[in-house]
Structure formats: C-alpha cells, structure tokens
Amino acid sequence: MRLAITSVAGHPLDVGTWSAAPANLSAALKRRTVDIVAVDSSLLTRIDKAVMAAGNSMRGYPWNAVSWFAPARQRRGAYVAERARRAGADHVLCTGSLDVPLGTDVPYSIWMDNTWNLLRNSRVAPRFSTTAMDEVDRLERSALAGAATVLTFSAHVRDDVVAHYEVPSERVFAVGCGSGELAPFEGEKDYANGHLLLVAKHLFAEKGGEIVLAAL
C-alpha cells in the first residue's frame, strides 16, 4: 500500500512538525512495509495569504486567519490531491482538516488532536465573529463528512466528532498520538539549577506561570 501523509505545519517527516506525530507514524508504517509519500501542504506564499486576507476582510472574516477558511482549504486540498495522484497513492492521511482533498476522486482520512467545536467553546477560542465561527464549523463538518475514517488523539475528541459533527461512530476511532506510554521521571529533580522551569503553550496563568515568575 502507498499512503500519502500530509501536514499544513511543515514537512510530515520532520520531527519538528506537529510534535513528531506524523514522523513517528510514518516510521512505524514503513516498518510494516507501507510505502509513505510525505506531502508538505504549507504551500501558501505571502501573496497567496495577502489575497486571501483581503477576501476574508471583505466577507467580515478575520484577515489574519486565512488557513481556517475555504480559499486556503481548497488550494491546499487541490495540491494534496495532485501530489497523491502523481505519486500513485492509494489513500491520503491528513493531519487535520485544513488540507483535505474534499470533492476530488482521492480518498482520505483525518488524524486530529482537536475539533473546531471544542476549540471555539474553550478558554483559548479564537476571537472570531459568530458568523466566522459558524463558517469554520461548516467547513470542518464538510471535511469530516468526506473522510473515509477519522482518527483522534483522545476519546473526548472522538465523542465530539460523533456527537457534534454527526460522523457515524463506526468511522471514528480514538487512537492516540503515537507517542505510546510515557514513563514517569523517577530521578532526583533539581529545581534550583534546572534550565527549564515551565512549559505552557497556552493557559499560562492556570498552569502556574505567574507563580513561577513571582518566585524568580
């Protein structure tokens, strides 16, 4: 089997892309004799983004978030489909919903760590208008509906794909992120001389960031 794996965040085989999830998965599949075709769908140029940003502004959508909306999705999806056809891929695995080859003859599945619905209802939701929020939700629904299979990092994301986006449960599976069981650190911790005190991609205060700063 020949499988195309895509990423809008960079080259799928680069360990710096999406916390190495697509790279780790690709390595595991290669060991099972699956032929991997890596597709970097982060192809938008500055001019592309500028044109799409102008279009977003005209529609009342955020100008600085073009990847969420239809023009960027369609451009990336068409690129993924073309690359998959050229490589003779039997199937495409998209790491997210932003570059799916929707509306083409190329079958695809989605591997995702979150849904738009969960994000928009979280404390770190993008500050979009309700109209823009609803449009992204519609696009996400279409992408998920067209997928042969939806794979999620966690059970609660799977549940949202089924409950909110109404994807049949037999097509949605919680499979994890590919990192496996992480062993806890059992050694002696040195809080005085450590180079790394805290990692907080978001929710800085809730994770104790302000306490750390006050203690310095």
Mean pLDDT across the chain, nearest whole number? 92
The answer to whether position 200 is within a domain reads: no
The answer to whether position 105 is within a domain reads: yes
Residue-range definition of the domain harbouring residue 46: 2-181
The answer to whether position 134 is within a domain reads: yes
Give the model's pLDDT for residue 182. Answer: 60
By CB atoms closer than 10 A (0-12, 13-18, 19+), residue 195 is exposed
Tens-place pLDDT, residues 132-176 = 999 999 999 999 999 999 999 999 999 999 999 999 999 999 999
Give the model's pLDDT for residue 200. Answer: 72
The answer to whether position 205 is within a domain reads: no
The answer to whether position 124 is within a domain reads: yes
Tens-place pLDDT, residues 174-187 = 999 876 556 677 78
Closest CA to 130 of 63, 70, 62: 62
Give the model's pLDDT for residue 22. Answer: 94
Count how many domains the chain has: 1
Q: What is the CATH number of the domain that holds 51?
A: 3.40.50.2000
- By the 8 A CB rule, do 24 and 178 touch? yes
3-state helix vs strand vs coil in the chain, percent to 5: 40, 10, 45
Counting other chains too, the contacts that 30-34 makes at CB distance below 8 Å and 24 or more residues apart are 34/1, 34/2, 34/3
Collapsed DSSP state (helix, strand, coil) of residue 172:
strand
pTM to 2 decimal places? 0.85
The answer to whether position 216 is within a domain reads: no
Q: Is the pLDDT of residue 5 over 70?
A: yes
The answer to whether position 28 is within a domain reads: yes
- By the 8 A CB rule, do 8 and 73 touch? no
Closest CA to 142 of 116, 165, 114: 165
Closest CA to 23 of 43, 9, 38, 41: 38
